[in-house]
Amino acid sequence: MAVHASHTVNGVAQIHSEILKNRLFKNFASVEPKKFVNITNGVTHRRWLVESNPQLANLITQSIGDKYYTEAKALHELVKLKGDASILKKINQIKFNNKKAFAAWLKEKQGIEINPETRFDVIIKRIHEYKRQLLCILRVIHIYNEIKANPDAKITPQTFIFSGKAASNYYMAKRIIKLINQVAAEIDKDKVANKILKVVFVENFSVTVSEKLLPAIDVTQQISLAGWEASGTGNMKAVMNGALMMCTYDGANAEIAKHCGTGGEFTFGLSPSEVEQLWADGYKPIDIYNQSKKIVGVIDALNNGFNDECFKDIASYLLGTSHNNDNYMCLADFESYIAAHDAMDAMYRDQTKWAKAVLRNISNMGFFSSDRSIEDYVAKVWKLTRLK
């Protein structure tokens, strides 16, 4: 009814606009092709960069002036500084300062201590199966298994930060939150692992929390099953603040990667068409389990439990042996996810190379300003005339 009654339909990111035209509403699009447009979402950089991250904003202003306040595409002028060693050093120092500030805020609010010298891998969004916070905590479990198997393994010290709210009656979302917190408690008790690995669930996710956390993110986890995330503006905010993306080919991830160039993201997993084909062929997670020692180790850990709580229900959910099975294919993307993390770890060891990727990301985020998005709506949807 909404499509029939509307004069314009927007998918809010290129991938989803194509899915609307070619799959979900293919019949409508064949009759009224001009009704369907794409206007990718944007965020206000004045709020999420200038106000939330004053140290970074000051560095940008000192380097290229303040034109980007009103014309976000002016951020592209930062590209000319990619070979400036002093700028790259300042970028790394600002990130560290923001991580220290967030660590202090978290200690005050929740009494939790985190080490700002670790890499901050962050997934902040509504808790939902399709957003796959579960896949991220499976990655943590895999790292924990590696540490227990070889305490001397060379593993990047990292802090995984989760935050988000779940619908009050959403049982699986609540179980995922419980798993995250129980894994965190188990790791905290392990005197070897807790020197390398930390897991935190930040309470009461809100705009205020975002403003504190976004400037501190090293890696933003945008790992929804391809074809399910309509856009994702959290990735825009994080990348604008100097994060690199760990991402699937979904939502605005692909567009950010296209604008920022290779090296600013670590893409993994199935494409939307591959997801569709796998469902058509029949998704059989038990077959994937039988072919992967890493997945076997993670499932065994779920069955054994964390902090005296068993998670056999989640193990069965992942394997497709329960009444409620994983429709978002965590196991199908797991090995690819691990490989992408390994590539990210290798790059992170070279902090100059990392800083160059951060600078390139920031400099190419002007397109994702809400100013541009609104102007696109004016031109393509609202057909307004600007007042003089």
Residue 51 forms part of a structural domain: no
One digit per residue, the tens of pLDDT, for the chain of length 388 reads 999 999 999 999 999 999 999 999 999 999 999 999 999 999 999 999 999 999 999 999 999 999 999 999 999 999 999 999 999 999 999 999 999 999 999 999 999 999 999 999 999 999 999 999 999 999 999 999 999 999 999 999 999 999 999 999 999 999 999 999 999 999 999 999 999 999 999 999 999 999 999 999 999 999 999 999 988 899 999 999 999 999 999 999 999 999 998 778 999 999 999 999 999 999 999 999 999 999 999 999 999 999 999 999 999 999 999 888 999 999 999 999 999 999 999 999 999 999 999 999 999 999 999 999 999 999 999 999 888 7
The answer on 147 and 235 residing in a single domain is yes
| pLDDT at residue 262, as a whole number | 73
| pLDDT at residue 208, as a whole number | 95
Residue 60 forms part of a structural domain: no
The answer on 24 and 126 residing in a single domain is no
The answer on 19 and 122 residing in a single domain is no
| pLDDT at residue 317, as a whole number | 97
The answer on 110 and 32 residing in a single domain is no
The answer on 237 and 360 residing in a single domain is yes
For 148-206, how does the pLDDT look when each residue is reduced to its tens digit (9 = 90+)? 999 999 999 999 999 999 999 999 999 999 999 999 999 999 999 999 999 999 999 99
Q: What is the CATH number of the domain that holds 205?
A: 3.40.50.2000
The answer on 210 and 147 residing in a single domain is yes
Domain count of the fold of the chain: 2
Q: Mean pLDDT across the chain, nearest whole number?
A: 96
Residue 106: give the domain boundaries: 92-365
- Model-wide pTM > 0.85: yes
| pLDDT at residue 387, as a whole number | 85
The answer on 21 and 107 residing in a single domain is no
Beta bridge partners of 309: 306
The answer on 201 and 316 residing in a single domain is yes
The answer on 241 and 105 residing in a single domain is yes
Residue 59 forms part of a structural domain: no
| pLDDT at residue 386, as a whole number | 83
Residue 350 forms part of a structural domain: yes
3-class SS string, the chain: CHHHHCCCEECCCHHHHHHHHHHHCHHHHHHCHHHEECCCCCECHHHHHHHCCHHHHHHHHHHHCCHHHCCHHHHHHHHHHCCCHHHHHHHHHHHHHHHHHHHHHHHHHHCCCCCCCCEEEEEECCCCHHHCHHHHHHHHHHHHHHHHHCCCCCCCCEEEEEECCCCCCCHHHHHHHHHHHHHHHHHHHCCCHHHCEEEEEECCCCHHHHHHHHHHCCEEEECCCCCCCCCCCHHHHHHHCCCEEEECCCCCHHHHHHHHCCCCEEECCCCHHHHHHHHHHCCCHHHHHHCCHHHHHHHHHHHHCECCECCHHHHHHHHCCCCCCCCCCHHHHHHHHHHHHHHHHHHHCCHHHHHHHHHHHHHCCHHHEHHHHHHHHHHHHHCCCCCC
The answer on 100 and 30 residing in a single domain is no
The answer on 34 and 115 residing in a single domain is no
